[in-house]
Each structure stands twice: as structure tokens, then as C-alpha cells.
Amino acid sequence: MTTKLMGTKVQRVEDDRLVRGTGRYVDDVAPDALHVAVLRSPHAHARILSIDVEAVLDIEGVHAVWTYEDLDGAMAEPLPLLIPHPTLTHGRTQYALAKDEVNYVGEAIAMVVADNRYLAEDALASIVVDYELLPAVVGIETARAAERLVHDDVPGNVAARMEQSNGDAAAAIAAAPHTLSLDLAIERSACMPMEGRGVVAKWDADNGRLQVWSSTQTSTGVRAAVAAKLGLDLLKVDVITPDVGGGFGVKINHPWPEEVLVPLAAMRLGRPVKFTEDRREHFISSAHERAQLHHVEVGFDDDGRVLGLDVRFWHDHGAYTPYGLIVPIITSTQLLGPYKPGAYHVQFDSLYTNTVIVTPYRGAGRPQGCFVMERTMDAIAASLGKDRAEVRAVNFIQPDEFPYDHGLIFQDGRELEYDSGDYPAMLTKIKDLVGWDEFEQFRAEMAGQGRRVGIGLACYVEGTGVGPYEGAHVHIETSGKVKVATGLTSQGQGHQTAFAQIVADELGVRFEDVEVTTGDTRRMPYAVGTFASRAAVMSGSAIHKAAKKAKEKALRIAAEALEADVEDLEIADGVVSVRGTDASIPLGTVAVLSNPLRYAFDEASKAATQFSVGDPGKPPVAEGDEPGLEGKDFYSPPRSTFASGMHAVIVETDPDTCEIKILKYAVVHDCGHLINPMIVEGQIHGGVAQGVGGALYERMAYDESGQLLNASFMDFLMPYVTEVPTSIDIDHLETPSPLNPLGIKGAGEAGVIPGSAAFAAAIEDAERLSITAMPISPSELFALRQAASTNAGETP
């Protein structure tokens, strides 16, 4: 009997190659490739008056140097605006190589192809560009003031203004017994995967095919973009996503300039060409996220129940809008979290600045939304003198209220309707896990030692598993091995393992016999991509369905071969048998029988000769049937699943140095049924660490002229082991989703979402100072203490 693998901590199949150093990342393929280096704008805002590449052409080892002038056809058009929206009235995207104007430090201007990266970088130094400098727009306040414009034809620097309501929030607030207003800010950060972007292309002139490897979160997206930009038939382009060294969102945007320039160079030069982004480039030419300013008006009753909530916010999307309004739309909808305000109104402006573009970073607008909502909850509790957990509890959607419709439209264009959850149970769990009710005693003990501690709590709901669809192909070979393909890509989530668990369970084959391929358009050309915590839900469900189809066919053929009823068959360890008898047939043999060949090749074929299937009076492949033992299916849900979680943190702040230390971090998490708890917990760990980074360390420090001052790992402070909690206490709650066959919800982004909210609450609790902007550094905490003591001094 095969043991059920769903829900068990199966060790990852990916690891063997990765710990041996035999994984294949994009820079590892095509060792004979020519290398690309890109000249990037040193100015945040400038007109390009002229570019002189003359000197480059004489450099030995240089094969090509291109500027915008060298592009034609679709390549000379702006890059696509991937996700248009009716309210995105002034969307703008950049050119693959800048045309006439640059709008951020790092924007691609020219490209050199050389024997190696060293020579290519040498050549960049010989390109002479004449710029006319324009004033830069940096920061939300500057963009909002609109005294100068990023794009001449975008008034007010406003790309989009969007508004949604459920009920009459203004009236509800006006009528409420209590009101508060808050201004809340979150700064820029970035995904910062350990591997930057990268792309390799080979033009196969013999076959007229283009092969592209990209470190992307969507190989099908890149494929379509490359075909469109280069004017190739889609079927002439293959895109392969090899091992990817982390994504966290930044690799979902596509095509990056290099993703179309490198294939074009490979075709024009007839040689393999490679671009490997370096760390400085990643800082200034990939994407950032998070910067938003928010103004909240809230009305509530004596219990802290929110009667009306009105949120106005401003989103800094950088110089262009290739990824549309996904991030602010998510903030505007997901800030509601597990709560049900009496009425809600939200409005945001998405603003241009002369900085790197903004596309989703793990959490994608939710950390900001969670920060806004949870700070509001804490402020309500403080104003009423109530326990912060109690105020949350009175606002929760109750377990019997699912499905719960918020009356809003979500990022996928569907209703914001929560599928399932149990927030009161979750609150009980997190309070127990962190020791919420015992905290005052702990605080007193610590105060006795001259130490200052605080506790914070933050709750969130995360729309996961958004559509439109994913597909899967399951192929049982005559060896009995099962080859599975799904189109979305992997960046460390252990998909090869988790998906193999699903297949092994459904088909009744050994886990070791299942091999999963992701992100290879040759194997599965229909796919969307890996983002929005959707892979497990979407591809997991598709794989489950495809495996089920393969199984149905296997059982149908086996029943014929074994002269038994399908209902009497079972599959275990890759063998179909008739329950209660010795009669059996290996799946590999069924695979042979499924394909009525004229020729026999192997032992499996010989073994199959003992069985007889098919009606001699009918065609060997019956009408409506296909040769081969395969299953292919797609999963396309009506709307997203909604995972949820609550984090609590205890911090200590140093009364002298303002250093902030994490004493305890607790997580309760509900992503429905778990496929592999080990992988889910790993995702939470990583998310929490990024949450710590976002709350206490990481920010993009732009100066007024638009120079990024900390474009290195020296100064962009990603946490080392010494900055993360020494342990993360995790408890799970499993409220299955009714929307998919496995009852799963996504888990990828969860860990990061409530970080800033929870830390702000804990620091506020320790310091008795209002925390309204994150991240916060010791230096900033010092400034807050100074301001508070100055104010206290002035108050009689």
C-alpha cells in the first residue's frame, strides 16, 4: 500500500543537485556564449542629445554595440504595458534602449556584445553620451506636488487614480461616536534575490529556432514577448527556465530590455549570447516596491468596531508602469484583512517618479495595507484604552460568514470574496503561542532589570492562487516512470517535490518515479507564471486533475487487460491490481498497451504481449481516444483563495543606544491543507526574515537628484543570521479552500506581510511613542525619542 504523501515532510528532490553544485542556473548554461554589458543612465532625468559609439567598434573582442537607432520594427516600440486597467489613463513604458530621454538612474541606453563581460564593460567606458539634464522627481511628496513632471504629457505625475467603495464610508464616519485620523508611510525596498536577472539565447539556424533561457517567473510570458518583439512565430521560440536563484516577484515583470535584446543579438550575430546582471545593475535596473503614503479616517463605536473606514493613499510606481496597477490595487483591497468595516472607501493615486520601476515584491502591496489596517486597529485600541487583541476580535469576519463578499473588485478583476477561514480560532492560537496574556507580567519583570520590552500583533488575509489558469501534463512512460510538466516556474519553492507528492498520491506510484519539469515551454506551452502565492493552488490543482485523467485511462486499459471491472482495481507502487486477487499489471505495461505500435522495442513491450486489449473489429486507436498513457488538464478557478495569518513579536529596545532586538516571534498560519509542511514552514521562515528586513533594515535611499545611495549589499541592509529571530514559533490552522480539489491555499508570500505592522506595534508598545513610518532604524527611534522629550518639555 502506498503511503499518502500529501501533508508529510518529504525531503526535496531538488536538493541533491543543488548541494552538489550541479544545479543549472542561467549563467551556468552556454559557456561559449558572448557576453552583454549595458550602458545605463547615470542621471535620473535627462534628454539624450547624442550618443557616440565610434570608439567602441575598434575594441578587440567587441562584436556589436547598439543604441536605439539599431532597433527596428516592434523592437523600436516601447516595451509592453502588461496589465492595462481602465483607470491607468497615463500608462508609460520604457524602450528596450532609451529613445531621446532617460527617466531613472539605471535605464538602459546602449548594449555591447563582447567576448566576455570584462571586455564588454571596458567598451562601455568608450561610449560617449551627451545629456541635457532635467530636474528629477524623487519621492511621493515631490511627485504629488507636481512642480516638475517626469513625463511632459502626464499632468500631475498621476498615471492612475482609482476609487472603490462599499457603503457610504464618509457618512458612517461622520455618524460614528469616535473618530481618528492617521498618516502612515512605508518606504521603498526590493526583492533582492541572491541571483540577479539573466538571459541566454541561441539561434539554431539549421532548424530556424530560437532557444532562450531566462531567470524568470514566467517562461510562457517571456516566450510570447520575444516572439512578438522579434517578429517570430510563437512555435519558433522555446523558453526554458532553469534553476532560479530566487525571485520574490521581481522576475515576474517581462520582458526586461535584455530579455528581448539578447535573443535579437543571438539571431543577428549567429552566436549564443548571454546577459548576467550584476548586483549594482540589479539595484538600479530591476524593480523596487513598497513606497506609499496613506491617510486614514476611521469611525468606530465604544467597542472599537469599525463603522466607517476611508483610506486615501499615494503609490510611488517609479518611472514607468509596465506591470500596471497590481500593487496599489492589492493594497486597496487587501488592507481590509480579516475585518468587516461597516463601510469602506478607498482612493489611490499612482505617481511617477524618476526612480527604478515598481513591480510586485513578495506581499505585493499587502505589507503596506496590513500596516495601515493594523496601525488603525492599534490606534483604536489606544484611544479606547482597550486590549489590542480584543479590538481586532470585535471586527473579525466570523467563521459562519464565509463565503464573505467585501463588495469590492480584487486585482484579478473578480469579486473580493473570501472562501474560508477562522480568524477567532487563529487569534486564540497566536495569543497562546506568543504569551499575550502573560506579557504584562514579563514587561514588569524586565522593567525591574531596567529593560524595555514591547509586544505587537498583526493580522492579515492574503488573496492567493489567482487565475486565470495553469495546466499540467502527466505522462506515464513504458518504464513506469511518470514525467510531469507544468508551465509555471520555480525559484526555490520545492515544486518538483510538492507536485510529485500530489502525483504519487493520485496515481499510486512511487514518489521516486515521478519527475516534474517546470517552466519549460517545450513541455507545457500554456501557463501564466509564478506569483501571488499561486503555484501550489494553480499548478497543484492542475497536476492533480491531469494525474486523475491519466489514472482513469490507465484503469480503463488495465481493466480490459485484466478482464476486470474498473471499480475493482487499485494502483499501488505503480502496479494496477484487482482487489483481493493476484491479478495485476504494472503501469508501464499499461503504457505499452495504450500505444498500439507496429514495432516492439524493449522488455516492457514483450511483457505486454501476454495481455490483449482492443477490439480487432475496430481501429487500433478508438475514436475519441489517443495513443499513449497521458493526462492533460487545466485548472481555472472562479476566483482567488484567501489564506490568512497572524504574527506576534516581542521586541526589546535599548534605553541608551536605541537598538531594537527581537526576543520572540510567533506565527499562526492558515493556507488550507498543507502539501509539504516542511516546505511551507521554510516559506514562512524566509518571509519572516524579509519582514524583519523590511521593518528594521532595508530601504532604498535615493537622494534628491535620484541617485540611489545604497546600491550595494554593504549599504542595503539585508538581514544576516544575526539579525533574524533565533527561533520562529509556528502553529498552523487548516481551513480548506472549497475552490480546489486539494483544499489548498497559497503560502509563498505570507511570512512577509505583517512584519512592519507587527514590529511597529511592538516598538510603539515598548517606547510609548507613536510609530507611523516604517522601516525604523535606531537612528530614527532616537529622533522620535528626542522629539517626544522636546514636546514633553514644552507641555506644561
Residues near other proteins (CB under 8 A), total: 81
Of 422 and 520, nearer to other proteins (C-beta) is 520
Question: With binding defined as CB under 8 A, does residue 511 bind other proteins?
Answer: no
Question: With binding defined as CB under 8 A, does residue 628 bind other proteins?
Answer: no
Of 528 and 689, nearer to other proteins (C-beta) is 689
Question: With binding defined as CB under 8 A, does residue 790 bind other proteins?
Answer: no
Give yes or no for a contact between 665 and 728, defined as CB atoms under 8 angstroms apart. Answer: yes
When binding is defined by CB under 8 A, the residue of 28, 301, 415, 625 that contacts other proteins is 28
Question: With binding defined as CB under 8 A, does residue 209 bind other proteins?
Answer: no
When binding is defined by CB under 8 A, the residue of 4, 47, 279, 522 that contacts other proteins is 279
Q: Which of residues 342-401 bind other proteins (CB under 8 A)?
A: none
Q: State how far the Cα of 473 lies from the Cα of 467, in Å rounded to an integer.
A: 18
Q: Which of residues 739-758 bind other proteins (CB under 8 A)?
A: 751
620 cis-preceded (ω within 30 degrees of 0): no
Q: State how far the Cα of 381 lies from the Cα of 333, in Å rounded to an integer.
A: 23
For 210, the enclosing helix (H) or strand (E) is strand 209-214
* Max Cα–Cα distance, the chain, nearest Å: 103
Question: With binding defined as CB under 8 A, does residue 268 bind other proteins?
Answer: no
Question: With binding defined as CB under 8 A, does residue 38 bind other proteins?
Answer: no
Amino acid at 588: G
Tell me 398's DSSP state.
P
* Residue 574 in grid coordinates: 505503480
Closest contact distance (angstroms) between CB of 723 and other proteins is 6
Binding mask 441-480 for other proteins (x = CB under 8 A): ----------------------------------------
Candidate ranges 89-97, 380-388, 725-733, 761-769; the one touching other proteins (CB under 8 A): 725-733
Closest contact distance (angstroms) between CB of 529 and other proteins is 16
- Residue 184 pairs with which residues in a beta bridge? 294
Q: How many helices (H) and strands (E) does the chain have?
A: 20, 29
Question: With binding defined as CB under 8 A, does residue 258 bind other proteins?
Answer: no
Of 124 and 329, nearer to other proteins (C-beta) is 124
Question: With binding defined as CB under 8 A, does residue 205 bind other proteins?
Answer: no
Closest contact distance (angstroms) between CB of 91 and other proteins is 30
Of 78 and 677, nearer to other proteins (C-beta) is 677
Closest contact distance (angstroms) between CB of 134 and other proteins is 25
- Dihedral class, residue 532 (left if φ above 0, else alpha if ψ from -120 to 50, else beta): left
Of 214 and 420, nearer to other proteins (C-beta) is 214
Distances (CA, A) of 748 to 461, 536, 745: 13, 9, 10
Question: With binding defined as CB under 8 A, does residue 778 bind other proteins?
Answer: yes
Helix, strand, coil percentages for the chain (3-state, nearest 5) = 30, 25, 40
Residue of 409, 310, 325 lying closest to 364 (CA atoms): 325
When binding is defined by CB under 8 A, the residue of 132, 445, 565, 715 that contacts other proteins is 715
Query: H helices of 594-735, where?
Result: 603-608, 677-692
User: Where are any strands of DSSP class E within 477-625?
Assistant: 482-486, 514-518, 569-572, 575-578, 584-586
Closest contact distance (angstroms) between CB of 16 and other proteins is 7
- Residue 102 pairs with which residues in a beta bridge? 46
Question: With binding defined as CB under 8 A, does residue 729 bind other proteins?
Answer: no
Of 16 and 626, nearer to other proteins (C-beta) is 16
φ/ψ of residue 641, rounded to 5: -85, 160
Give yes or no for a contact between 157 and 351, defined as CB atoms under 8 angstroms apart. Answer: yes
Candidate ranges 276-284, 328-336, 371-379, 585-593; the one touching other proteins (CB under 8 A): 276-284
φ/ψ of residue 376, rounded to 5: -65, -45
Question: With binding defined as CB under 8 A, does residue 789 bind other proteins?
Answer: no
Question: With binding defined as CB under 8 A, does residue 248 bind other proteins?
Answer: yes
Tell me 424's DSSP state.
H
SS3 682: helix
Amino acid at 393: A
Of 279 and 606, nearer to other proteins (C-beta) is 279
CB atoms closer than 10 angstroms to residue 493: 25
Question: With binding defined as CB under 8 A, does residue 697 bind other proteins?
Answer: yes
φ/ψ of residue 210, rounded to 5: -110, 130
- Residues across the chain: 796
Q: Which of residues 2-21 bind other proteins (CB under 8 A)?
A: 11-12, 14-16, 18-21
Closest contact distance (angstroms) between CB of 717 and other proteins is 5
Residue of 699, 693, 756 lying closest to 719 (CA atoms): 693
Closest contact distance (angstroms) between CB of 281 and other proteins is 8
Closest contact distance (angstroms) between CB of 696 and other proteins is 9
Closest contact distance (angstroms) between CB of 657 and other proteins is 6
When binding is defined by CB under 8 A, the residue of 74, 269, 717, 769 that contacts other proteins is 717
Give yes or no for a contact between 473 and 632, defined as CB atoms under 8 angstroms apart. Answer: yes
Q: State how far the Cα of 148 lies from the Cα of 157, in Å rounded to an integer.
A: 8
Of 31 and 617, nearer to other proteins (C-beta) is 31
Amino acid at 509: V
Of 194 and 566, nearer to other proteins (C-beta) is 194
Question: With binding defined as CB under 8 A, does residue 549 bind other proteins?
Answer: no
When binding is defined by CB under 8 A, the residue of 427, 485, 724, 742 that contacts other proteins is 724
When binding is defined by CB under 8 A, the residue of 658, 668, 674, 757 that contacts other proteins is 658
**177, exposed or middle or buried, with CB in 10 Å at 0-12, 13-18, 19+?**
exposed
When binding is defined by CB under 8 A, the residue of 228, 613, 621, 678 that contacts other proteins is 678
Of 163 and 703, nearer to other proteins (C-beta) is 703
Q: Which of residues 104-143 bind other proteins (CB under 8 A)?
A: 116-118, 121-122, 125
Candidate ranges 145-153, 343-351, 491-499, 533-541; the one touching other proteins (CB under 8 A): 491-499
Q: State how far the Cα of 438 lies from the Cα of 443, in Å rounded to an integer.
A: 9
Q: Which of residues 180-199 bind other proteins (CB under 8 A)?
A: 192-195
Closest contact distance (angstroms) between CB of 557 and other proteins is 38
- Residue 664 pairs with which residues in a beta bridge? 650
When binding is defined by CB under 8 A, the residue of 170, 228, 718, 788 that contacts other proteins is 718
Tell me 695's DSSP state.
I
When binding is defined by CB under 8 A, the residue of 341, 492, 519, 754 that contacts other proteins is 492
Q: Which of residues 280-339 bind other proteins (CB under 8 A)?
A: 280
Q: Which of residues 64-103 bind other proteins (CB under 8 A)?
A: none
Closest contact distance (angstroms) between CB of 345 and other proteins is 37
Residue of 282, 316, 750, 326 lying closest to 529 (CA atoms): 326
Closest contact distance (angstroms) between CB of 23 and other proteins is 5
Q: State how far the Cα of 673 lies from the Cα of 358, in Å rounded to an integer.
A: 33
DSSP states of 286-342: S-BB--EEEEEEEEE-TT--EEEEEEEEEEE-TT--TTTTHHHHHHHHHTTTTB--S
Q: State how far the Cα of 103 lies from the Cα of 44, in Å rounded to an integer.
A: 5
Question: With binding defined as CB under 8 A, does residue 617 bind other proteins?
Answer: no
Residue of 44, 205, 58, 51 lying closest to 119 (CA atoms): 58
Candidate ranges 412-420, 492-500, 508-516, 592-600; the one touching other proteins (CB under 8 A): 492-500
Closest contact distance (angstroms) between CB of 236 and other proteins is 29
Question: With binding defined as CB under 8 A, does residue 42 bind other proteins?
Answer: no
Question: With binding defined as CB under 8 A, does residue 777 bind other proteins?
Answer: yes
Give yes or no for a contact between 752 and 362, defined as CB atoms under 8 angstroms apart. Answer: yes
